[in-house]
Amino acid sequence: MTHTEGMAGLARLIDQAKRAVVFTGAGISTESGIPDFRSPGGIWTQMAPIYFDDFLASEEARAETWRRRFAMEDIFRAAEPNRGHRAVDALVRRGKVSTVITQNIDGLHQASGIPDKQVIELHGNTMYATCLDCGSRYEIADLRAAFEGEGEQKGVAPVCTRCLGYVKTATVSFGQAMPPVAMRRAELETLAADLCIVLGSSLVVYPAAGFPELAKRNGAALAIVNREPTGLDSMADLVVHESIGDTLGEVVGVN
C-alpha cells in the first residue's frame, strides 16, 4: 500500500466512525524521547523486566527497580506530547474518539489535553508512587533525592513512612494484577466502539492487547499504525507501517 493509499484509508475509517477508541503503546511516545520496549535498542533489549514477585521478595530487586526508574526521570520530565498525541487529542475534541486506552505510563495523553476521564491507563502511571499496603502517595522527586542522596536512604528502596510497606511507582509490573476498574471500563468502551485505532504497539502483551482483538471480533473496524508488523495485522482493516506523528498528524490535520 502506498503512503497516499494508507492516508486515504485511515481518513475514510475515521470519517465513517461514530465512536472510535484509540489504543496506544510505547510507540506513540518515542517521538517524545521516551524509548519503547521491543524496537531495536528498546528497554527490554537492554535489560530483563523485574517481575512483581521478585520486587516483593528481594530488597535488591526493589533497589534495582528504583535505580532504573530514577535513571529515566530526566527523560520523563523532559518529555512533551508530540504530533501523534496532539492528533489523538484533536480526535477526542472533535467527538470522534470517546476514549484513549493506553498501555503507556508516561501521562502524555493527559498532558496533551485529553481529560483524565477519557484516558484509561491499563498499566498505571509512573509519574508518582504509592505504598503497596496503605496506598499513601509519594512524589518521585522526593524519593529520588533520598535514594541518590548521601543519607542513610542512599541506594535503599523506599518504604512507607506511615506503615513501612513497600513503595512502588503506580504502574503494573509483569506478574502484578491488572487494575479491575480500568479493565472493565476499557472493555465497555471497546464494545461500544465502531472503530479501534492502534497506535504504536507490538500487541504482544495480554490482556491489554486483547482489546483491539475484542473490538474487531465485536464488529468494529480495526486500523493499526505501527512501524513494525504486529500479530493483529492479518485481522486489521487497515495497516500503516509508518511513523505515527506524520501519519496521524497528516490525516487529522495537526502539526
Positions touching Zn ion (CB under 5 A) are 131, 133-134, 136, 160, 162-163, 165
Residue 215 has a CB neighbour count (10 Å cut-off) of 26
- The answer to the question of residue 103 lying near ligand APR (CB under 6 A) is yes
| Closest-approach residue to ligand APR (CB) | 27
Q: Is 94 exposed, middle or buried (0-12, 13-18, 19+ CB in 10 A)?
A: exposed
- Kindly state the smallest distance separating residue 57's Cβ from Zn ion, in Å: 19
Whether 123 is catalytic is: yes
Q: With 0-12 CB in 10 A as exposed, 13-18 as middle and 19+ as buried, what is 73?
A: middle
> 87 near 168, Cβ under 8 Å?
no
**Among Zn ion, ligand APR, none, partner that 65 touches (CB below 5 to 8 angstroms by kind):** none
- With CB under 5 to 8 Å by kind, the binding choice for 160 among ligand APR, Zn ion, none is Zn ion
Take residue 74 and report the three cell numbers written for it: 530526566
Determine the Cα–Cα distance for residues 31 and 124; give it in Å rounded to an integer: 21
* Strand (E) or helix (H) holding 125: strand 124-131
The least CB distance from residue 147 to Zn ion, in Å, is 17
Selected binder of ligand APR within 10, 17, 30, 222 (CB under 6 A): 30
Does the footprint of ligand APR cover residue 31 (CB under 6 A)? yes
Which partner from the list Zn ion, ligand APR, none does 98 bind, CB cut-off 5 to 8 Å by kind?
Answer: none
Closest approach, Cβ 15 to ligand APR, in A, equals: 22
User: 192: Cβ–Cβ under 8 A, 6 or more apart, which residues?
Assistant: 19, 98
Q: Please state, in angstroms and as integers, the Cα–Cα distance from residue 182 to each residue in 6, 122, 187, 199, 253, following that order.
A: 32, 6, 9, 19, 30
Task: Please tell me whether residue 226 binds ligand APR under the rule CB under 6 A.
Answer: yes
Among 21, 22, 34, 37, binds ligand APR (CB under 6 A): 37
> Between 123 and 160, whose beta carbon lies closer to ligand APR?
123
Instruction: Give the Å distances, CA to CA, from 160 to 124, 133, 136, 167, 216.
Output: 19, 9, 8, 6, 43
The one among 6, 27, 158, 212 contacting ligand APR by CB under 6 A: 27
Count of positions (residues) in the chain: 255
| Contact positions with ligand APR (CB under 6 A) in 106-125 | 123
- The residues assigned a catalytic role are 123
- Binding interface with ligand APR (CB under 6 A): 25-27, 30-31, 36-39, 42, 103, 123, 200-202, 204-205, 226-228, 243-244
